[in-house]
Amino acid sequence: MKLTPATDVHLNEGDLVAIRANFGPTFTTLAESDERLMAVTADLGSSVGLAKFGEAYPDRYLNCGVAEQDMIGISAGLALAGFVPYAITFGSFLGRAMDHVRQSIGHNRLKVNVVGSHGGISNGKDGPSAHAIEDVAMFRAMPPFAVVVVADANQLVPALKASVDHPDPVYLRLYREPTPVFYGESPDFEIGKANVLREGTDLTLVACGPHVGYCLRWLEVWGQDASIELIDCHTVKPIDEETIARSAAKTGRVVTVEDHYINGGLGSAVAEVLAERQPTPMRRVGLRGYATSGPYYELLDYVGLGEEGVRSAMDDLLS
């Protein structure tokens, strides 16, 4: 069974909004009624729209400069003092601070939420050194952390609120480039609970981040050829084992899609669930190595994360 290319499905400019652009306004609104919230950034607050927050609450906005380790250490101290700090920088730069994340936040199980913006290859033109393709794997391996990969700008609102209320630290991944908005203004969101956006019987497609929106668009055409179940697995950890295992048992085929290195992220997490609970043939779509410099949407095709790459993996199982 072959899937028809979605040649008549296009992403309209009016449907594209950068997830990171919604962070600052949402955080500022939450901070109005929660004095515990503080923003600590490594000189990148403007990239996630925190300028107005800094103006409104100068005592709760700290810019550490280009010093990610200091950002984590300061955030840990604020957590010990009863605040709920958000440590904010590019996801690609968090590797510099992971020892501090482990020692200061992880071992002490402190309530510090870490925000990695410009996730995956969405920082395309700045090149591989600025691409965050290992961040999910790093935080997924850190015992106390939940890992949330936001799918669109509207989902960020309840995801950010949930990260405040979650008892353990949360890693929240954002994107630089405008990506499809497909959720309504008040989507349901629960950390650890995946959303089944489309039910099917032939194959389960598990995605996270903006690829949930891309797959929805592509399935407008693909769905005519096969019955595809689409799961938004926004929480990579703790992963929703029940939903994934139940869907795999029904369809008998699973494909995962993520803007991340093929090992350690969503595909690895789903493979672990299937190995332990519901052995099922599967394929993983993700980066197989570092990318190159270029426009984001062109890079998606270049690294196999565009429509053709996803469709090829699905065809491999459906045939």
Band (pLDDT 50/70/90 cuts) for residue 11 is very low
In a domain, 246, yes or no: yes
6 has pLDDT over 90: no
CATH code of residue 34 = 3.40.50.970
Backbone angles phi, psi at 87, to 5 degrees: -90, 120
Band (pLDDT 50/70/90 cuts) for residue 9 is very low
In a domain, 153, yes or no: yes
- Where is the domain boundary, 151, 180, 209? 180
Q: What is the mean pLDDT of the chain?
A: 94
Q: Give pLDDT, residue 155.
A: 96
d(CA 173, CA 177): 13
Domain range for 97 is 16-180
64 has pLDDT over 60: yes
- Residue type (1 letter), 116: G
Same domain membership, residue 21 and residue 168: yes
Q: How many CB atoms lie within 10 A of CB 191?
A: 20
Q: What is the pLDDT of residues 128-152, one digit of tens each?
A: 999 999 999 999 999 999 999 999 9
Same domain membership, residue 209 and residue 308: yes
Residue pair 207/183 in contact (Cβ under 8 Å)? The answer is: no
Same domain membership, residue 147 and residue 34: yes
**Residues 55-79, mean pLDDT to the nearest whole number:** 97
In a domain, 91, yes or no: yes
Q: Give pLDDT, residue 225.
A: 78
Same domain membership, residue 92 and residue 229: no
Both tokens of 316, joined, read: 């491999």
In a domain, 228, yes or no: yes
184 has pLDDT over 70: yes
26-33 own/partner pairs: CB under 8 Å, 24+ apart: 26/156, 26/157, 26/160, 26/161, 27/53, 27/86, 27/160, 28/52, 28/53, 28/56, 30/160, 30/161, 30/164, 31/56, 31/57, 31/60
Q: What is the pLDDT of residues 213-238, one digit of tens each?
A: 999 999 988 767 799 999 999 999 99
- Where is the domain boundary, 180, 207, 228? 180
Q: Give pLDDT, residue 166.
A: 98
Looking at the structure of the chain, the number of domains it has is 2
Same domain membership, residue 234 and residue 158: no
Same domain membership, residue 217 and residue 95: no
In a domain, 147, yes or no: yes
Q: How many CB atoms lie within 10 A of CB 126?
A: 14
d(CA 93, CA 294): 19
In a domain, 262, yes or no: yes
185 has pLDDT over 90: no
| % of the chain surpassing 70 pLDDT | 95
d(CA 70, CA 278): 43
- Where is the domain boundary, 127, 150, 180? 180
For residue 308, what are the CA distances in angstroms to 180, 212, 296? 18, 15, 16
Same domain membership, residue 198 and residue 176: no
In a domain, 199, yes or no: yes
Same domain membership, residue 159 and residue 244: no
Band (pLDDT 50/70/90 cuts) for residue 71 is very high
13 has pLDDT over 90: no
Same domain membership, residue 22 and residue 168: yes
Q: Alpha helix (H) ranges present in 112-260? A: 135-140, 153-165, 211-222, 241-251
Q: Give pLDDT, residue 10.
A: 38
- Give the DSSP letter string of 174-189: --SSEEE--S-SS---
Same domain membership, residue 266 and residue 147: no
Both tokens of 155, joined, read: 């989902």
Same domain membership, residue 300 and residue 215: yes
- Give the DSSP letter string of 32-92: HS-TTEEEEESS-GGGGT-HHHHHH-GGGEEE--S-HHHHHHHHHHHHHTT-EEEEEEEGG
Q: What is the pLDDT of residues 252-281, one digit of tens each?
A: 999 999 999 999 999 999 999 999 999 999
Q: Give pLDDT, residue 223.
A: 66
Nearest-CA neighbor of 211 among 177, 251, 245?
Answer: 177
For CA atoms 52, 54, 60, 65, the dihedral sign is positive
In a domain, 2, yes or no: no
- Residue type (1 letter), 248: A
Same domain membership, residue 244 and residue 130: no
Lowest mean pLDDT among 11-25, 107-121, 193-207: 11-25
31 has pLDDT over 50: yes
Residue pair 117/150 in contact (Cβ under 8 Å)? The answer is: no
Q: Give pLDDT, residue 12.
A: 43
d(CA 284, CA 263): 9
| % of the chain surpassing 90 pLDDT | 91
